Each structure stands twice: as C-alpha cells, then as structure tokens.
C-alpha cells in the first residue's frame, strides 16, 4: 500500500512524544518471524478486550516497547494511538525515504579512542565502516506524508526533540550493539510508525492493513 502523491496534506500536531520500538525477544542473529498473512488489528477493537489482547500477543512477535521512563508514555497513551490507527486502517499508506549520509549525525563513538592498560593512546585505533545512506520506512495517514518526510531528518539531527529521546541518530549510524537496539518508533502526537528495519515495517503494515507494505 503506497503513498498517493495527490493526497491533500493537513496540519499536524507538534511532535514531542515518540515511543521507541526494539526487536522482539529472539536469539541473537535470528531473523524476525515471517510477516503475518492477514490483518490482526481490526476496527472496533477496544483496550482490554480478548481480541485486543490476542492481537497484542501477535504484535510481540515483531517488536517490544522500549521503556521510556516518563509518565507521558503511560496511562493509555499508546493504546489510544493504536486504536486511532486501527480506526483509520483502511486509509493508511506506506512509503520509504532515503536519508543521505550527510543528513545523518556522526555517531559519537566514531571519535572514541582506544587506550592501553597503562592509559596511553593505543597504536591501533578502531576502524569503523563509512557512513552510508539509510532508508526509513513509514506507515501513516495519507495527509501526513509530506510533513513526515520533513520531520524525520529533523528528528535524526535533534532539531525536533521528543521527551526521553528517539536514538534515531544512533540507529542510522550504528557502531556498537547498543545503537542497533532501537529499530522503530510510534509517534504518539499524530499517530504514525517509522522504522529503520524493513521486516518490522512489513509486519506492522500487514497487522494493521492486511496488505503488503509495497505494491
């Protein structure tokens, strides 16, 4: 389900809450399960119903909710955003965008030096792969497409700041294992998903829309 270039764009609320999403509890280097073959979240579901809980079990196969450490992410904020997306599931669209390497902040770990046990600068310093262009995958409402394209680079550069941070810059230029933990986000002010992991994007698109992410 792809974005329509003719969609009418409407004003969005300011982005200040983005729930971080990490991969599911699977063995190291084990791939994500195959995407589901049909929609799991359906219009009419309400928090606490058996249907919602069953859908949540499926959802946990593909992601975990990272602990954000702030009350704004609790007290029904996430279920409310999910329910609103379910209500609009027939309208949701997907798109991919590329962030050029020059748009991505350099990971601070690139500048970290190695030292000997004696505290002297080591002769052999770590060599990191070059920075590269990265794709970001989005599931959203059609009227938000163009504004989301504008905001994601700003989020990466911390020019849009969200409470408790996104770690998007680290995910786009991962050097250490910690940098790779967060692979997706649910923006809570307007309600849209974005990912650096294509498998998570494909699975969430099928879960919410019953359609493939591409095509």
pLDDT at 14: 97
Contacts of 48 (CB under 8 A, 6+ apart): none
Give CA–CA dist 29/11, Å, rounded. Answer: 41
Contacts of 55 (CB under 8 A, 6+ apart): 40, 41, 45, 207
Task: For residue range 38-91, list pLDDT tens digits in order.
Answer: 777 665 555 566 666 777 777 888 899 999 999 999 888 988 899 899 899 999
Residue 146 lies in a domain: yes
Give CA–CA dist 60/40, Å, rounded. Answer: 12
Residue 153 lies in a domain: yes
Residue 5 lies in a domain: no
Residue 30 lies in a domain: yes
Residue 123 lies in a domain: no
Residue 85 lies in a domain: yes
Residue 175 lies in a domain: yes
Among candidates 162, 176, 203, 173, which has minimal Cα distance to 63? 203
Q: Into how many domains does the chain fold?
A: 1
pLDDT at 10: 64
Residue 118 lies in a domain: no
pLDDT at 7: 43
Give CA–CA dist 171/61, Å, rounded. Answer: 21
Give CA–CA dist 95/213, Å, rounded. Answer: 8
Query: Containing domain of residue 65, as a range?
Result: 18-106+130-209
Q: Residues in the chain with pLDDT < 70?
A: 1-10, 27-28, 35, 41-52, 215
pLDDT at 52: 64
């Amino acid at each position: 389900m792809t974005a329509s270039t003719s969609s009418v764009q409407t004003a969005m609320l300011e982005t200040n809450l983005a729930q971080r999403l990490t991969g599911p509890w699977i063995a190291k280097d084990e791939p994500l399960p195959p995407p589901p073959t049909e929609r799991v979240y359906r219009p009419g579901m309400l928090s606490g119903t058996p249907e919602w809980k069953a859908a949540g079990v499926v959802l946990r196969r593909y992601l975990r909710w990272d602990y954000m450490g702030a009350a704004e992410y609790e007290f029904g904020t996430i279920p409310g955003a999910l329910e609103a997306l379910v209500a609009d599931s027939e309208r949701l669209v997907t798109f991919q965008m590329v962030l050029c390497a020059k748009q991505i902040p350099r990971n601070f770990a690139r500048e970290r030096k190695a030292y000997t046990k004696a505290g002297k600068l080591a002769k052999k310093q770590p060599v990191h792969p070059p920075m590269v262009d990265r794709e970001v995958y989005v599931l959203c409402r059609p009227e938000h497409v163009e504004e989301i394209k504008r905001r994601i680079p700003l989020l990466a550069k911390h020019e849009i700041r969200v409470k408790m941070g996104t770690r998007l810059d680290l995910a786009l230029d991962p050097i250490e294992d910690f940098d790779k933990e967060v692979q997706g986000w649910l923006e809570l002010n307007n309600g849209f998903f974005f990912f650096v992991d294509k498998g998570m994007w494909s699975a969430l698109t099928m879960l919410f829309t019953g359609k493939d992410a591409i095509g």
